[in-house]
A and B are shown apart, each in its own frame.
Chain A
Amino acid sequence: MSAVGVARVPAPESPLRARARAFMSAPELKRLLVLVVIIVAFTFMNPAFFRSGSFAAIVQAMAFIGIVAVGQTLLIIAGEFDLSVGSTAALVSIVVAVLMTQWNVDPVVAMLAGLAVGGVVGLVNATVVLRLRIPSFIATIAMLGIARGLAVWLSSAKAIRVPQLAQFSDLDRVVSFSVVLMIVFVLAGHFLVVRTNFGRLMCATGGNAEAARVAGVKTLRVKAILFVTSGLLAGLSGILSNIHFGSTTIATGSGWELAAVAAVVVGGTSLWGGGGTLIGTLIGLTILQTITSGLVVVKIDPWWQTILIGAIMLASVSIDTLRRRARPA
């Protein structure tokens, strides 16, 4: 053993090798492999799965949830949840539709107003969780009920057609807004977490709020920003769904919160906060959506879907938990 005070740092490995090693050990890569295995398996069971152009359908089907899952991942990294996202999407989608059809508001103005509503919902969540210190699990479940209730009230529980958005809908058929925006937000979110100052503050807040506070991080502000972001993204998703389908009902966004949390968990972000990956969430969502669609293609009873998705979620969380227990902090 060297004497006290002698530096004991081994020479750093070459940057290229270090980068290659980091790439190979990235958690995203393992999940990508799982996804490939699943696709191969379905193709093997029914070659139609690969041919049918179902990929485009899968990607479109998951795009709305994908956008919502971006906000969810960021919040979970910072140590909070938002279970109100599906209802927020419904509320915003209904608000936009009602503004255009009943109040003849300009479509662009209506959409901006809708986004504002999403932001306000996020702000209310933030206030309740951070000021009143109600656990986000409870607070956002309450909001789940309130926002959906408001949507039902505003729409009188009737489907609303939105021909005012026709010009956007036409464009959406050429290039899907929701798919493009999902990819943009995932990449932007990934960049935010990995490369920015704010991303580091998020990880610090979720990992050890006490230590972050001692280091001068305004943890409440970080969380508040992310609640609002989550609300905004949920609202955007609701609006995009209006554009895509040309109509809306109070069923818009139902179940999105669970699908989004499932995607986050399967994607490898720890439910305990402190770190995570948006690329992983995207892969996680793709895995779940591929299974959902694949089971239909290979003609397995649909009730297996939810069982399988539940099982995958449990497995993902268990792996995370066991890994934590094996290496106690």
Chain B
Amino acid sequence: MSDQLVPTPAGLASAQVQTPSAYALEMESIVKTFGGVHALRGVSLQVRRGEIHGLIGQNGAGKSTLMKILDGYYPFGSFVGVVKVAGREVQLGSPRDAQAVGIAIVPQETTVVEALSVTENVLLAELAQHPIQLFGRNRSSARAAAFLAENRIPLDPDARVATLSMHKKQLVMIARALYTKPEVLVLDEPTSSLTSDEIDNLFAIVRSLRGNGLTCLFITHKLDEILALCDRVTILRDGLTAGEYARAEFDADRLITDMIGRKLGELYPPRPSLAADAPEVLRVEGLAVENPRIPGTEILHDVSFTLHAGEILGLGGLVGSGRSELVTALYGQTRILRGQVILDGKPVRPSGAREAMAAGIGLVTEDRKKEGLLFNLNIRENVTLNVLDEVSRGILLDRGRERHLARETVRDLSVSAPSTATKVTNLSGGNQQKVVLGKVLLPKPKVLLLDEPTKGVDIASKADIYRLMTDLARSGVALIFISSEFPELIALSHRVVVLAGGTVRETLDGVATSEKRLMRSVSLLEQAVEGMPQGISDSEG
């Protein structure tokens, strides 16, 4: 832990190469561009020895790009800037290099070998180095047990990893990373799939490891966790370091201000006006939705809201708050446990995608690679997939009509492609997303569900998608819009329903609310939201 409050200038540290550095990890003026787009525009990060250092920023601020540089995924030479570990400059060409110099990253997704025991998982790197050595089960198990006890990690070395909970699996990953005696342990969004008890438990372990002298870089976008755990924090915004503070210097307000810090540009079209007497299209009452990852449990309960023709209803919340599950439930892909969905005054309970489409509901899924597009097919074939009945006579496809519809879609959505026979694999992310939108719009839905429609999309295509959304709203389509990017969520939504703690936390007025207000609502614990300052108008539909 450092008693120094003022950040040391970067030059000073590099001058002290001989003496053991006060810093476990330094990244200086990192610039990384992707084909003209600056992902990082000069980020500096300095992690002192023995501290828990938080790294926070909104989606797109540059956290993951920075981590991929630290991981060697983007090798030395593909970016500008200097990376130092324990005061020495390193040139990382691959993830293996990163491990060799003492950077141990525990990724967000679980990467454990389910079929092996805890011992085998923890010692995996060692086993891989000596593949022909006999594996002494008892000896290894004893060694792992001693190691786990020393680090106070509550795991049974003989347990089979497949039988462990998500939390325990994560501890296996942490133990495995620690076993390499790293200079710095990087935890990337470690709490995203943990319960609050498990989070407390994890924090206790991380604190106790700090007591043993471990340096930890803790990446998150939850303010609570930074406030609860970190000795120091670095805030990223738009590819720059927006601030660095010791624990005594920051509070939630400081973090939020630095995370937002920018004005909304000309990117957003004006929010379409919504008539006070716009008819109600969709009403959701007391909905409980099953958690698709843990069948039998509910990810959401008592969710109620209304949606009007021509309205854009934002759906705010953190990853894992149940936003996607809510819209997929309306689309008949996730199980509804209780409650009612009323569409145009009639109760509906779509049992599948086909039924949902027939009822007038369209869904743009979050993961267009996994669920949105058929990459082996061309634009035309992708676009018409939802309306095959319309473009065929009997069982035969009417290729003329199909081509005509596809051309219209390509024109309406300004997809740039040589022809409708272009395979979607060869399109940019933005154009792929427009193809997905075109496909979903062809059955002419009354209610359009958009799950992170601008994720991984270039800025020009984003503007096109915003314009399309407002045009649709003006024509009377009702939209539900999920986004982790608060600026766009606020700029486009008439109201924002915030999901947190498994239900609707509150409904914010899109015009009156601020990014700050929204960020508090989605990322702070319930008590903290009470007594919020400044003009909050909670409107009920």
Contact = CB atoms under 8 A, between A and B. Distances in A.
Interface stretch (B46-54, B141-149, B375-383, B482-490): B375-383
**A interface bracket (residues with beta carbon within 8 Å of B):** 35 or more
A329 B363 CA distance: 21
Contact of B414 (A6, A10, A208): A6
B396 A211 contact: no
B414 A8 contact: yes
Contacts of B352: 216
Given A8-B414, A197-B396, A214-B333, A203 B374 contact: yes
Interface string B353-390: 11011000001010001111111110001001110110
Nearest to B365: A214
B433 to A, nearest CB: 13
A203 B395 contact: no
A200 interface: yes
B467 interface: yes
A208 B396 contact: no
B410 interface: yes
Contacts of B395: 196-198
Contacts of B407: 9, 12
B6 interface: no
B386 A211 contact: no
B370 A211 contact: yes
B385 A204 contact: yes
Interface string B382-412: 0011101100100111010000000100110
Interface in A203-243: 203-204, 207-208, 210-218
Interface stretch (B14-22, B208-216, B315-323, B415-423): B415-423
B370 A200 contact: no
B399 A197 contact: no
A211 B372 contact: yes
A163 to B, nearest CB: 41
A71 interface: no
A12 B417 CA distance: 11
A210 B363 CA distance: 13
A5 B464 CA distance: 6
Interface in B45-101: none
B426 interface: yes
Contact of A12 (B353, B357, B381, B419): B419
Contacts of B381: 200, 203
A13 B352 CA distance: 40
A7 B414 contact: yes
B136 to A, nearest CB: 35
Contact of B370 (A8, A198, A210): A210
Contacts of A7: 411, 414
A7 to B, nearest CB: 5
Contacts of B415: 8-9
B531 to A, nearest CB: 42
B376 A203 contact: yes
B229 interface: no
Given A195-B397, A211-B374, A216 B357 contact: yes
Most buried by B among A1, A4, A5, A327: A4
B388 A197 contact: yes
A6 B331 CA distance: 32
Contacts of B377: 203-204, 207, 274-275
Interface of B: 331, 333, 352-354, 356-357, 363, 365, 369-377, 381, 384-386, 388-389, 392, 395-397, 399, 407, 410-411, 414-419, 421, 425-426, 439, 460, 463-464, 467
Interface of A: 1, 4-10, 12-13, 18, 22, 195-201, 203-204, 207-208, 210-218, 270, 274-275, 327, 329
Given A196-B397, A208-B375, A216-B352, 9 more contacts: A4-B463, A5-B467, A8-B414, A9-B415, A12-B419, A195-B396, A200-B381, A212-B374, A216-B356
